[in-house]
Amino acid sequence: MKLLIVVPRWPKNSFWDLFGFKFPLLSTTLLAALTPPEWEVTIIDESITPIDFDNIPDVVAITAMTPLAPRGYEIADEFRKRGSIVIMGGMHPSWMPGETLSHADAVVIGEADYIWPSILKDVKNKRLKRVYKQDEFTNLIHIPIPKRELLPKKGYFFENTIQTTRGCPYNCEFCSVTAIYGGKYRTRPLTDIEKEISSLRRATRFIFFVDDNIVANLKYAKSLFEMLCNYKLRWVSQGPITIAKDLKLLDLMAKSGCHGMFIGFETLSEENLKLMGKRFNRIPEYVEGIKRFHDHGIGVHGSFVLGYDYDDESIFEKILEFANRTKLDGAHLPVLTPFPGTRIRKRLLKEKRIITNDWSKYDMATVVYKPKRLSVEALQEGFWWLNQKFYSPYSIFKRMFTPSAIRRSLIIFGPMNLGHIRTVKKAKRYFYKRYDHFN
């Protein structure tokens, strides 16, 4: 029997559709590895490869984040017309199973590592249930090596994505990670990670460890980094700014090949941090923390959520000035987006501040709620202004190419910054064509 695993594309010419530095969803290659060997498996990431609807599989498995859900439903409807069985999972279906079931034969809520083979067995025995949910979180001892050989040979900036942990001990108001993966931090055996590194088909020089917080278990993290020192790697991952307090840890990260970290600064407002529930961040420590990363040759890709309740029209220039002054290597600068399953969505619904449930607009680039101290238009314009200014030739040169800014992480962040110049300009142009009410 044939199984097709699909990742829907972003809306045409949207910010993330045009984003050139793509990497594969690890869940697709992992799902393929969990599939019994008698199944013939194909993976299509629609941002890389178009779907041939005339090539009809027995089962289509679709994973969808919220902004990709409308396209996911279109794909599901099209294959069901042709007789395929459609199963949907991922973040959005997990929170909106009733909505999803109007387009799919079955929905999987949360993790599926234990139950996926049983679901396919139910398909073969013609006893497929409408809803599936694991009774417990997955023990990562049971995770197989993902089937990366099913990915296209070209199209991704990082093909080598590896997960060493799941879960996050924090519960930030705007984040859905803890709600899906739980607050308990789970780790994989280091021997399994070594086997996976050895299995990579492309040069192991570039790896993206997709953990939401790679250092939440400090003892495990240090053991991981010590193991990585045995390999000639360049890797990036995600973690809190508090890492910078531990100079020995930074030394070890640098030695093991760390070239960059995605750091959630989130805001320059103490009031916003309290509202987010991110009290472990200390704004006065941001500057020194970034410097310590840079002193170790590690680039910092900072994340700031725009439009929280204590943000006003000054926030955009403040963030730009901070980024240029601290020489941030890159930045994720999204509009606050109240995804299903988050505490911020529940709060904004209670306060009657949600404007639309058109999920295609939940792309982190479109304002879908009423801010407190900004108009909808001011936040929308500020988002585009800040992204365009940050990824302008002037800012890139100041942050990346002055003598004091050049570091080994330039090999990753240099191309990424330069590629963003055209991406942001083009995405902004198409945005205002689609949503003329913002003009």
Domain(s) labelled CATH 3.40.50.2300 in the chain stretch across 2-133
Q: What is the pLDDT of residue 176?
A: 73
pLDDT at res. 209: 96
Spatial contact of 259 and 205, defined as CB atoms under 8 Å apart: no
Tell me how many degrees the CA angle 382-276-18 measures, rounded to the nearest 5: 40
SS3 15: helix
Q: Tell me: the pLDDT tens digits for 371-421? A: 999 999 999 999 999 999 999 999 999 999 888 778 889 989 999 999 999
- The SS3 assignment for 60 reads strand
Q: pLDDT tens digit string along 145-192?
A: 999 999 988 888 878 999 999 987 777 788 777 667 766 789 999 999
Q: DSSP code of 355?
A: -
Per-residue pLDDT for 439 more than 60?
Answer: no
Average pLDDT over every residue of 208-229: 95
> For 43-74, how does the pLDDT look when each residue is reduced to its tens digit (9 = 90+)?
999 999 999 999 999 999 999 999 999 999 99
Residue 94 contacts residue 341 (beta carbons within 8 Å): yes
Residues whose CB falls within 8 Å of the CB of residue 401, separated by 6 or more in sequence, listed in order: none
**Confidence at residue 200, expressed as pLDDT on a 0 to 100 scale:** 86
Say which CATH class 2-133 falls into.
Answer: alpha beta
Pick one of 3.40.640.10, 3.80.30.20, 3.20.20.10, 3.40.50.720 as the CATH number of 158-438: 3.80.30.20
* Structure confidence by residue, pLDDT tens digits, 243-282: 999 999 999 999 999 999 999 999 999 999 999 988 789 9
At residue 167, the pLDDT reads: 80
- The pLDDT, as a whole number, for residue 22 is 84
Mean pLDDT of 297-324: 97
The 10s digit of each residue's pLDDT in 96-115 is 999 999 999 999 999 999 99
**Mean per-residue pLDDT over the chain, rounded:** 93
Percentage of residues in the chain with pLDDT exceeding 70? 97
Beta partners for 407?
none
Q: What is 127-142 written as a DSSP string?
A: ---SEEE-SSPPPGGG
* Chain-centroid distance, C-alpha 274: 24
Q: Where in the chain is the domain with CATH 3.80.30.20?
A: 158-438
pLDDT at 204: 53
The model's pLDDT over 318-328, given as tens digits with 9 standing for 90+, comes to: 999 999 999 99
134 Cβ partners below 8 Å, 6+ apart? 110, 111, 112, 113, 114, 115
Q: Tell me which residue has tokens 């590690």.
A: 298
With a CB cutoff of 8 Å and minimum separation 6, the contacts of 27 are: 63, 90
For 24-118, list the strands marked E by DSSP: 40-45, 59-63, 85-89, 106-109
